Every structure is written in C-alpha cells, then in structure tokens.
Structure 1
Amino acid sequence: MAGVIEMTARRRSQSPLLTRLRDRSPELVDALVGGAVAAALGLASLAVLVLLLWISSPYPDSGPGGAMHVAAALWLLAHGAELVRTDTLSGVPTPVGVPPLLLLALPVWLLHRAARDTTDGGPGDGDAGFVEEAGAVEVVPGPPPVSARTAWTGVVLGYVAVASLAALYAAGGPLRPSWVWAGVCVPLVAVVAAGTGVWSAYGRPGGPLRPLLGVLPAWVRPLVVGRDGRPGVATRAVAAGLAVLLGGGALLVAVSLVGHGATAQGALLRLTEGWSGRAAVLLLCAALLPNAAVWGAAYALGPGFALGAGHVVSPLSSAPAPFLPPFPLLAAVPGAGEGRLVHWVAGVVPMAAGVVVGRVVAQGAAAGESGGTRPGGGRGAVWSPWRTARAAGLAAVLCAAVLTGLAALSGGPLGVAVLARFGPVWWQVGAAALAWMVLVAVPTALGVRAWRCRTPGADGAAMGRQRERRPEGDAHQNGRPRKRSRLGRGGSGRTEATGTGGGLRSGGSRNPKGAGAAAGGASTSGRGTAQRTSDPRPEEPYAPFAPHVPIAPHVSFGQDDLYGHRGQDDAEFEPYDFLPADPSPESYGFRPSPGDAAPGRDGP
C-alpha cells in the first residue's frame, strides 16, 4: 500500500464568498448600470435645456463648452451642492447656494425608478410566464427579485460615479462646485431616493423600517409606521399639515404677485431683452416656485425670510431690502414698514394646518366611531385622551422637523457681505411651526375625539332600543299588515292577519278583498280596518323556529329591515287570495260527517 500512487486529483471547492460574488455579479452590474443611466439622463435633460437657451440667445458669452459646464454645475446645484462663482468684477469668488427645488424632483424620480426597476429584474422579468405543450398549460415562475442590498448598493455607486465625473468636468467652468457640499449632498440624495425605490419594489414592507425605528420609543413606532407597513396616524397627519402649509404659502405668493402684477411685469421687461432671455427668466422662476412656497409658509408662521443679511420680511414688520436686480418673484415681497391687518391675515395658514393635523389624529384615535367600523377594530377601540394628545404632539414635532429641513434647503447665499443670506432662518421656522402645531393641533385632536365618541353613543342607544322592540313586534309595520305563522295543536297551520282589506284566521270568518265577498264575513267600507274575530283559545308564545307550512305559496314585496334583510312582516301577495278562507262544504257538493273536523280547526 505504500507504493500506491493516488491518480485522482481532488478539486478544492470554492469558498462560499467567491460563489456568492459570482452569483451576484450580474445583478450588481445591472444595478451599477441603472444608477449610471439615471445620472446620465438627469445630466442630459439639463444639458439639452441649457443648450437650447444658449442657441436662442442673441448674445452668447461663451461657446457650447461653457454651456455644458453650466449644465453640469446646475445639475449639482439641484442636489443641494453649493457652487462658487469665480468670474466676478472684484475677482473675489462668491458662493451661490440657493438650489431650485423643482430641479431636485428629476434626480429623485430617476433614482427611484432605477432602483425599483433593478430590484424587479427589469420590467416584466419578474412576472410568471405560461408555456403550452400538447394542450396543457404550464405556469413557469419568473426569476426572483434582486437582493435589496445588491440593488441599492449598485444604484448608489453607479450614480455617485457619474456625479463625480460631472463635478470634475464642472470644476473647469465659471461655476465650480464646492467639494465638501458635493461630497455630502449628492450621495445623500442617492442613498435616500434609491432606498425608497427598493422599498417600493418589495411592496413597501414594514420590516426594513423596524431597525431604523428601533431608536424611537415603543409608543412612537406604530404612530409613524403601521403594522401593515402603511404610514401611521402621525405620518398621515404630518403629510396633511405640510400640504396645507406649503399650499397656503404658495397661495400667499400668488395673491401677492397678482396684486403687484405691474411691478412683476416691469421687472421681467427690464431684466433682459428678447424672447429667449425672457423665456430663460420665466423658466428660472418656475424652478424657484417650491422655494417661494416654503418662503411663504415661513412668512405665514411669523419668522419670515431674509433678503440679505439683516433685512427680514415678516408680517409684523419688513426691513427695507438692499439694492437687488429686478426679478419677477421679488415683486411679491411686501413693502418696507410696519405690518398691517392684511399682512396679519397670513396667520390663517398655520392655524388651518394645525386644525387639519388635529383632525387627522382624531380620526385615527376614534376610527370606529361616528362613521362605521374599520377592519380589525370596533366601536370600542378608542384612544385615551392622553394617547391622543401624545399623537398630536408627535405629529407637531415631525411637521416642524420636516419644515425646518425644507427651510434650510430652500435658502442660501448669493454672494458675500449683504448677500450672504437669502431665505428663511431654519431654526426660527422650526420653533414657530412647533409652537403653532402644538397650540392648535392638540386641542383640536382632543375636541374632535370627544365629539366623535359622543355622537355615536346616542345613535347606538337608539339603535339598541329598536333592536329590543323588534322581536316583540307590533301588529302593523309602516302601515302594512303583519302576518304571523303559528303551529297549533295537532300540527295544523294557523295564520292570522290584521290590517286594511280584511283579516284571515283559520276557523273564523274572512273579509274578502273588495265589496261583495263570496263567502260570509265582516264587510268593510273604504279603507277601514277589518274586524277581527275572537279566538276561543288564548294567545300562544311565538315560536320563530317552528316549522311553517304555508297554505298557499306567497311572494313578499316588503321593504328591507334595519340589517338589509327582507322579512315577512310586510304585506304579502297570495295568488289564491280570491278563494274564501273557510269555504262552505255545501259549495263543493258534499256534506261532512259530524265526526269530521273543519279545516283549520283543532277539533269539533
């Protein structure tokens, strides 16, 4: 055995890490390509717009290369990165840090779509297919979705790689990016937008958010994100409050522009000449409309905004603005001086936002009251006043935090010295928003909750009384006769009816429908009530589950009851109603024997 030589060489198995990388390399490459394509599309869109404006300009200052440098710089500015202008009259570089918020929507949307499509494996790749062979249809499942971590990492890395090349290219132009701001803002936008895209591709589950929400207290988590992954009560209230605040701010700007329409038109005509230059100014105003909405919201809250260092515009007072070039949006700024009553009306906007936030919280606190029940909850699932107040306070804090971020993002410097600050002061806006929301939203939530809990109480009590009276029953329901079926002794059916047009009792006289009845009975006149014949036996308890043997088939034309069912309490139509109820035996040609019982009677 010592001379035996092993001729079979065993291949060493690959490490699990290499196998995993080899399996995921196509997915990672697709994610990288998706992120790079999203960045390229955003750059190309701005480049086409800038080139069109450069071509249509009657006095271009530079060639197409300069226009491409400006497009790359504007694309970085849209992410929040601050730019530095080098070609100034004084030779001192000046910062440009007011990002048009409308331009940010395009990169965010492209990143979201790229991450979502990459996670799904491309449009249609993740769907199941059908293969038909020999008349049989076989369902072929599609490929599983790409790993969330792989898709998110690839899209972010691909986007940041293209952004780095764009920053290097823009550094050679008149508007150079600040490397610190570019290194922070662009990856942050990519991380957030790509994360939302991957989360959307997986059906917006609540699992990935739990680690992020783990730092929050236990009572806060269900208010932010529900158990099913949908937004919680506080999140919905924040969205509604922000919509009212920003919509109100935009409305204030629009009303002021209409009031100062002549000034805005004059600024547009003096700023540039030719339709191409005016079109460029109008496009810039459209890109700055979200900024104007945030500034209007800050004005309505009270702190206002700054038009230069030390020049604050607020409802209480407006400092005289420094010398600024004419711009159409600046025409909406109120004149210098003390605030008047027309300026104080702007306080309606935060008050309305607080009322909306409180109402949304109250709807979640008493969701099963005054409007039906929700799936999985009943009328008893009502929050306590303390929990409702905490939810409204949390919504106020989150609303103030989001508005603080928007205020910080919507402003920035446009130069040095006096032009070092434009826009609202973020911490003042946050403090004012928190004060407004707490003072208005919390009392509103408590008041609406108390009202929703009180109103259905009376309705429920009335409904309960109706349900208690319903089993007993009355002779008449809505002016119609009520018929009951009972089973007497001996198993024979016994029916009785009271109401207009005659009554029916086995063993008694029956009133026919109409004048001149064939058989005997009490006659009726007009719409009078038929006379009831007395029953020699006492009333027996009603047995609702007793077998019922109808004398003749009938069809019910009654109305629905309280629960939507049709009962036998209303008037019924019997096709054999023209026959007498207790026909005389002589009319049929025979005479019963003395021992026979009459039809419908229990005995002689």
Structure 2
Amino acid sequence: MTGRGLTLPVLLARVRERSPGPAAGVFGGIVAAGLGLGTIAVLVIAMWISSPYPDSGPGGALHTAAALWLLAHGTEMIRSDTLSGAPAPVGLTPLLLMALPVWLVHRAARDAAEPEEEGAPLGSATGVWAGVACGYLVIGIATACYASGGELTPSWVSCTAHLVLVAVAASGSGVWIAHGRPDGPLPPALHRSLEVLPRVLVEKVLPVAARAAAAGALVLVAGGALVVAASLVWHGGAVRESFQQLTAAWSGRIAVLLLCLSLVPNAAIWGAAYTLGPGVMLGTGHPVGPLGGVDVPLLPAFPLLEAVPAAGEGTPLTWAAGVVPVAAAVTVAWFVVVAGERAGWTVGRVCYAMTVAAALCGTMFAVLAVAAGGALGDGLLASFGPVGWLTGFAAAAWTAVVGTPVALVVWAWRVRGSGARRREAVWTTSVPAMQPARRRTAVVPKPAPVEDEEEFDVYDFFDETARATRWALPTEARTGPQRPAPPGQEPQDRDEPQDSEDSEDSEDPADLKDPESAPTAQSQQAEPQTSEPQKAEPIVPETPDPAPAKPPASAETSAPAQTPAPPEPPAPDPADSPDRQPTPEP
C-alpha cells in the first residue's frame, strides 16, 4: 500500500459512517454472515487441531464448518458417506446454534437503520431491510456452494428457503425496532386478510390472547426442561457411561459436550411434548409418552437420549408429568382473566378469548415442535422428535379444556370480590351510619397562642409593687376599702401602726361604755367572712362619728383567770386629725 492508499480498517470505517440506507444495509448483512461463519469455523478448527486422530485435513474441517453454519439456519443436509452407501438426510437443527445467526442479522439491521448522530433522520426502512437481507444471502449462497463439495451437502430447496426466511425475518425485526416499533400501515395483502376478521377480535381479543398464549408456551417449555433435568439425574449412571463410550480423547468429549449444550432447547421442547401426552418419536413407529412407549432397538448412544424412560406402560411417576400442561393452562387463564377484568369484559368474551388463546398456544407449540425435531437418517431414523401437528393439537386441547373452567371460576371469584367491594364503597359513601366504626381518640384542643407573652421569671415574686398589692388585699378585706384622702393629703395605710398618744387621745371612756356601738364593731370584724369587699365610693367629708364604745364584758370574760385582750380599736378616720401627718410606711 502506498501512503495515499486506503487500508481496510479505514475503508470499513468510512462505509460504516455513511448515512443509513441500502449500502449500509448490504455491508451490515455481509458482516453479520461473516461473523457467524467465522465463529463456527474457529470452533471447528480448534477441535480439529486438538484431535489426536483427525479424519481429514484443513479442507475437511472448513467444509464441516460451512455445513454446520447452514445447519444452524435449519437447512437439511445430506450425508453421503454411510455404511449402506445410500445418502441419509440430517435435518435435526440445534436451536441454540440457530440463535447465533438470527441475533447477528437482527443486530446488523438495527445498526444499519439507526443514524450515527443523535437527531439525524433514520434511513429508509425498506432500503435497509432489503440491503441487509441481500448482503446476507450473498454470503449464504457462497457458503452453500462451498459446502456442496464436502461430505455434508445442502439440499438446495431447503437451503434457499431457510436462508431467505432467516435473513428476511431477522432483518425486518431489527429495522422495526430501530424505527421505534411503529404500528404503521400493514402490507396490503395482510391488511385485506385482517379486514375479513371481526373488528373485536383484531383490536381487543387478539392482543390479549397472543400474550396469554406466549406465556402458556413459555410455561410448557420451562416445565419440559425440568422434566428432562429430573430424568437425567435419575439416569445419571447411564448418561455418564454413554458420554465416556463416545470418545476417549478430551477434545472429542469437549465436542460432544458442546453438541449437547446446543441441543438443550430441543430437549426442553421434547420434554414439554412428552408431558402433553403425544410424546416424542424416537424413530418411525416408536412413540414414547407418559402413558407408555415401545422399545427402540437401534437408538444411537448419546447422553441426552439416555434420559428417555424405559419402554412399557406408564407409572404414576410418569403420569405426574401432566402437572406441566395444567400449569400452562392455568397461566393462560390467569392472563386472560386479568386483562378482561381491566377491560370490563363479559363472561362470553372471556370464553371467546380463551378459545383464541388456546388456538394460538397450539399453533406456537406446533411450530416449536417442528423446529426441534427432524430426521437423523432414513428408514427408522427418518422421524425423530415430536410430531408438530399432534403436539400442537394436544397443547390447544389442554389449554381449552382445563383453562376455560379455571378462567370462569377465577372470573367469578374476582368479579364477586370486586362487586362486593364496589357495593361496600357505595354503601359507605351513601349511608354514613353504616360506615365501619373507627377507634376514637381524644382530641386535645391546642391552647390559643398568646401574643407577646412574657417569659416567667422566678424573681418576679420579689417585685415591690406586686408584694405591696398582695399585702393590701387581706387588709382591705378585713377593714373595707380605703377611703380616698382629702385633697392635699396622702392616703394612710390601715395596717400602719399609729402612735400611742394618738390612740390614747382617741379613746373615750364614755364611748367605750356605749352599748349601741358594739354591733357595729362586731359587724366590722365579721365583714371579711361574709362577702367580698365592696367597691369604694367617693365620700363627702362629714362630721366624724364618735368612736364606738367597747362592748360590756360578759360573765365569762369578767373572770380573772380568763381575761380576754381588749379589742383592737378601729383605725381613726383621717378627718379626725386634719393637721396630723401620716406616718411613713416602713
């Protein structure tokens, strides 16, 4: 290469960076076919190199790799080197090996349809679809031509049909996903065929039935895998012996192990067909099922075939395999009932959806059974695996017979429960008295917020103003409200002690002997105990009344042993001594 030439990586990058369209689709299809063929070729070459006794050279290994790549698409291969000399077909396709080319084509179409930069317009769906399919078919035809020179030659009719089917279907799904799974206008032929069907079936029943049928088929396959695994564990000794008898070299054992792994999906579908009742065909006229089977004299030694139950009538252990189709039917019924309840279907529409789901489940499983089986030779080995139409009919029958009653029961249970809940909601909203009792809790009212509430302080008790007010209350209750002082004089506290001279001058012996003043003194002493102090009223200065006299001493008080103390004289009225100044308060 010169300095101005383009290397292969740069050329591939430039082709890939082009806008999506037919050219990018063709390039993607070629790359997808090359990657799948190269992966299988690497494995075959590795096994050929590690084999201690290879039967052929590198050319034979490459022919075998090309034949396996075509077999992964479902192509029927013809083996010419047989003991009898007659060509024998080989049509049993390992489904796990088929996943490789399907995924590569799907990915190539999706990448070719999506633009490199975000926000750029998508390529033409039809152009990308056709480009990927054409690029893949070019490599497929070239590989078929190369494989026709080996021991395993392809059947041209089968090769063409399966290559076109895989390329078109896988690339179409990739382009559809790249464009956001649009509902888009259907092809005219398909649109005209759908117009014949009822509108309710196409728009409402068919989507629900398809999802339910897919779930039921998945449960069948999972149950079949569990049955096969349990049988392999049960016949563990025979499986180990057959694995050791096939080859003694480690490379050969690794090749057998890889072949068994690629046939695991086939074994799961075989197990599901076994649980459905028809069973599988281990040769022409040799069915094996849960109800019994016949002995197969020419069964090839292979680890997975050692899991086949012994010939004879069925046992309760084999009959227990019927749990798998029951579980699948219940799953379909559950999906239909849940979707019908959300959509507000009637019982008739639920039965209608179950019938459609049963038909779809049978169709799906019939296709799986045909894909999982095939021929391993001619004569007795011409039919190997489950029979497609019989297995599909059994799956549809199990789903319809078991699933429909289960759907009706579940529908009645769920509708009854929803109706009871609906009636209860109506009752509780329309009749308040019938509402369920609730636990009542005491509601404590929150105190009203006090604005500008001052913080309490302990030292507020020592306020002089508050203390004077508190001390004045008992005195006011005992002696009555204090009279206002005349103008120009300060009020005098009633509790203030007076001078002895003033008290002596105010006392008059004649006044003490006046009996009329006694009740007045007693009423003044008993006044705090009877009623609250009255409000002070302004008093006009008048001539002071004479001081009340002391009450006469009774017989009891005159006794020398019990001489009571003289009663406290009443406080003098400030009007009696206008010139006297009040004593300051201590």
- Fold in common (TM above 0.5): yes
Gaps of 5+ in 1: 1-23, 128-141, 226-231, 368-380, 482-498, 505-604
Once the two structures are superposed, residues 529-554 of structure 1 have per-residue CA deviations (whole angstroms, 9 ceiling, x without a partner) of: xxxxxxxxxxxxxxxxxxxxxxxxxx
What are the residue-to-residue correspondences of 1:156-555 with 2, within 5 Å? 156-209=133-186, 212=190, 214-216=192-194, 217=197, 218-223=199-204, 232-367=207-342, 381-468=343-430, 478-481=439-442
Measured at CA, do residues 35 and 471 of structure 1 come closer, stay the same or move farther in structure 2, by a change above 3 Å? farther
Shift of 1:250: 0.7
Task: Check conservation: 1:308, 1:418, Cα contact below 8 A.
Answer: yes
Task: Check conservation: 1:305, 1:314, Cα contact below 8 A.
Answer: yes
- The answer to which of 435-444 and 98-107 deviates more is 435-444
Partner of 1:591: none
Shift of 1:233: 1.2
Partner SS state of residue 95, structure 1? strand
Task: Check conservation: 1:223, 1:235, Cα contact below 8 A.
Answer: no
Task: Check conservation: 2:370, 2:387, Cα contact below 8 A.
Answer: yes
Gaps of 5+ in 2: 1-17, 449-586
Partner SS state of residue 366, structure 1? helix
Which residue of 73, 78, 88 corresponds with 1:79? 73
Alpha-carbon distance in structure 1 between the residues aligned to 2:434 and 2:279: 69
Measured at CA, do residues 156 and 208 of structure 1 come closer, stay the same or move farther in structure 2, by a change above 3 Å? farther
Shift of 1:175: 0.6
Measured at CA, do residues 356 and 25 of structure 1 come closer, stay the same or move farther in structure 2, by a change above 3 Å? closer
Shift of 1:126: 4.2
Alpha-carbon distance in structure 2 between the residues aligned to 1:345 and 1:224: 33
Higher helix fraction (1 or 2): 2
Partner of 1:97: 91
Partner SS state of residue 266, structure 2? helix
Task: Check conservation: 2:20, 2:124, Cα contact below 8 A.
Answer: no
Which residue of 145, 148, 152 corresponds with 2:125? 148
Q: How many residues align?
A: 429
Measured at CA, do residues 473 and 59 of structure 1 come closer, stay the same or move farther in structure 2, by a change above 3 Å? closer
Partner SS state of residue 87, structure 1? coil
Partner SS state of residue 313, structure 1? strand
Alpha-carbon distance in structure 1 between the residues aligned to 2:67 and 2:60: 11
Alpha-carbon distance in structure 1 between the residues aligned to 2:247 and 2:433: 84
Quick one: percent identity of the two aligned structures? Answer: 52
Partner SS state of residue 339, structure 2? helix
Task: Check conservation: 1:84, 1:177, Cα contact below 8 A.
Answer: yes
Partner of 1:69: 63
Shift of 1:409: 1.4
Shift of 1:473: 10
Partner of 1:562: none
Alpha-carbon distance in structure 1 between the residues aligned to 2:126 and 2:228: 43
Higher strand fraction (1 or 2): 1
Task: Check conservation: 2:239, 2:303, Cα contact below 8 A.
Answer: yes
Shift of 1:500: 6.2
Counterpart residue identity of residue 358, structure 1: A
Measured at CA, do residues 208 and 46 of structure 1 come closer, stay the same or move farther in structure 2, by a change above 3 Å? farther
Once the two structures are superposed, residues 265-287 of structure 1 have per-residue CA deviations (whole angstroms, 9 ceiling, x without a partner) of: 00000111121111111110111
Shift of 1:412: 1.3
Task: Check conservation: 1:85, 1:174, Cα contact below 8 A.
Answer: yes
Partner of 2:567: none
Alpha-carbon distance in structure 1 between the residues aligned to 2:299 and 2:447: 95
What are the residue-to-residue correspondences of 1:16-55 with 2, within 5 Å? 27-55=21-49
Once the two structures are superposed, residues 155-202 of structure 1 have per-residue CA deviations (whole angstroms, 9 ceiling, x without a partner) of: 111111110001001001111110010011110111111111111111
Work out which of the two has the higher radius of gyration on C-alpha atoms and give 1 or 2: 2
Shift of 1:263: 0.4
Partner of 2:467: none
Counterpart residue identity of residue 400, structure 1: G
Once the two structures are superposed, residues 337-365 of structure 1 have per-residue CA deviations (whole angstroms, 9 ceiling, x without a partner) of: 11111111111111110000010000100
Shift of 1:463: 2.6
Alpha-carbon distance in structure 2 between the residues aligned to 1:473 and 1:352: 41
Counterpart residue identity of residue 339, structure 1: G
Task: Check conservation: 2:281, 2:384, Cα contact below 8 A.
Answer: yes
Alpha-carbon distance in structure 2 between the residues aligned to 1:259 and 1:467: 62
Once the two structures are superposed, residues 226-259 of structure 1 have per-residue CA deviations (whole angstroms, 9 ceiling, x without a partner) of: xxxxxx2112101210111000111110000000
Shift of 1:450: 2.0
Partner SS state of residue 278, structure 2? coil
Alpha-carbon distance in structure 2 between the residues aligned to 1:455 and 1:394: 27
Alpha-carbon distance in structure 1 between the residues aligned to 2:345 and 2:37: 50
Counterpart residue identity of residue 65, structure 1: G
Alpha-carbon distance in structure 2 between the residues aligned to 1:26 and 1:400: 40
